[in-house]
Amino acid sequence: MIELKGVSYIYPNGNKVLDDIYIRIENGSFTTILGDNGSGKSTLIRHMNGLLKPSQGVVSVCGMDTASPADIWKIRQTVGMVFQDPHSQAVGATVEEDVAFGPENLALESDEIRLRVTNAIANVGLECLEDSLLMSLSGGQLQKTAIAGVLAMVPEILIFDEVTSMLDSDSRSQIIDIVRQLNKRGKTVVYVTHHMEEALFADRVIVLENGYIASDGTPWDVFREIYASGRKVPPHLELAFRLQDAGMISPDVFPMDALSLKEEICPSR
C-alpha cells in the first residue's frame, strides 16, 4: 500500500509542482493517474519509490517512509517503475543482460538471477529475443524489455509512467494487455497516462491539474464529471453519456470501447 499525506513538492527553481496531495493506493488495485503535460503526474509518482522526497508531507510504502535512507532500497525493491522513453532506461547490451540488471543489484546468486530473468522475459512474451541486442529492437520490444527488467525484481507495486506515449498503436495495446494481466495476477498497478482511453481499464482514476487533485473516483464518475464540465472524453463515452441522458440506454452502462457500446445499443444474436 502507498500512502501520500499532505505531499507538496517545490523544485529547486521555486516551481511548486505538487500541492497538498492526499492519496491512498490499496494493494492489488489498478489506479490510473490522468493529466495534461506539466500537471505533476511524473513528479507525483517519483515520490512513490523515493526518487523524489516531498518538500512537505509524508510518503509511505507498506509502512516505510520514503524519506528514511534506511528503507530506501527496500522501497525501490517493493515499487518497480517503468519510464516513458524505452531508450533511456536500457542499461545492458542484450535483452537478458538488461533484465538481469536489477537482480544483479540485489546481489542474488546467478542461478536465481537466471530464473528471474527467464520468468520476467516470458511474462512479457520476449522469449525468442533473449539474446538480441537492444539496438536491434523496436520501441515496443524495448518497452517490454524495460517492464521485464522491473518484473525481475519481483516488486509488489508497479508504476508505469506514460509507457505507451512513444509507441505505435499495436505496441500500445500489447503493453496495456501486459499491464492488465499483471494486475489480474495480483500486482498493484499505478498507471500514468494522458490518453483517456487507457484510463478506462482502471479501478480508480485520479485527475491531476496544476499539481492538485481535480477528480478522484471510479472511471465512470470521473469521466462523467469531465463530460459534465464540457471537456472532451473518448468519442464512444461521449455517445454513451448522450444516450444515457436521453434515456436510451441504462445509466449504469460504462462501455470500455465502441464495440461494447454497440453491443449495448443493438446486441448481436
* Rounded Cα–Cα distance for residues 95 and 74 (Å): 25
- DSSP string for residues in 88-120: GG--SSBHHHHHHHHHHHTT--HHHHHHHHHHH
**Shortest CB 103 distance to another protein, Å:** 8
Report the side by side order of strands in the sheet with 30-35: 79-82, 157-161, 188-193, 30-35, 204-209, 212-217
Q: Which is nearer to another protein, 85 or 216 (CB)?
A: 85
* Rounded Cα–Cα distance for residues 33 and 41 (Å): 7
**Shortest CB 187 distance to another protein, Å:** 16
**Shortest CB 84 distance to another protein, Å:** 9
Q: Which is nearer to another protein, 97 or 203 (CB)?
A: 97
Q: Which is nearer to another protein, 147 or 249 (CB)?
A: 147
Handedness of CA 202, 196, 257, 85 (dihedral sign): negative
**Shortest CB 237 distance to another protein, Å:** 34
Q: Which is nearer to another protein, 131 or 252 (CB)?
A: 131
Please name the helix (run of DSSP H) or strand (run of DSSP E) that holds residue 32, with its range, or none. strand 30-35
Task: Give the interface with another protein as residue ranges (CB under 8 A).
Answer: 46, 49, 51, 73, 76-77, 80-81, 83, 85, 87-94, 96-97, 100-110, 113-114, 117, 131, 133-136, 146, 149-150, 153
